[in-house]
Amino acid sequence: MRNTVHSFLVMLCLGWPFSLSAQDVMQPDPGIEATIGSQIEAFLMDDFATAFTFASPNIQGLFGDHERFGQMVRNGYPMVWRPGDVEYLELRQESGALWQRVLIRDQKGGVHMLDYQMIQTGDGWRINGVQLLRQPGVSA
């Protein structure tokens, strides 16, 4: 019995790091990618009213209306407002939140890495926040 418990504890300790990392990165979710993509399409048409519908209730409450939301996007996230190319990278769960990493190339060729926090609502996936990630410096 003692050997069985010891063997179980060794297997648990050896397997634990692998099971945690497997839970962090998830399979792509077409619904999440469609939500982000639809919002970006609305930005490209300057349709901030539609883009605002893809924001979570928390974000909608924070900005109050689509005009203030649109102004924030134009001023704070110009690469999202006018992207050149959008690539969906990994979807991961971190501290109970879902994060979709997105690589955006702006129209001048600049590369931007963003994390979109996603939440599921009764109306489907909604964007609960976007973080612009710092790019590592390039050295010669």
Alpha-carbon gap, residue 39 to 119, rounded angstroms? 15
Confidence of residue 56 (pLDDT cuts 50, 70, 90): very high
Predicted confidence (pLDDT) per residue in 74-100, tens digit = 999 999 999 999 999 999 999 999 999
Alpha-carbon separation of residue 15 from 10, 12, 20, 52, 132 (angstroms): 8, 5, 9, 43, 34
Domain boundaries, the chain: 26-133
Q: Which CATH class is domain 26-133?
A: alpha beta
Helix (H, G, I), strand (E, B) or coil at 87: strand
Candidate from 11-25, 28-42, 65-79, 124-138 with smallest mean pLDDT: 11-25
Q: Are 36 and 20 within 8 A, CB to CB? A: no
More confident residue, 96 or 1: 96
What distance lies between CA 122 and its chain's CA centroid?
19
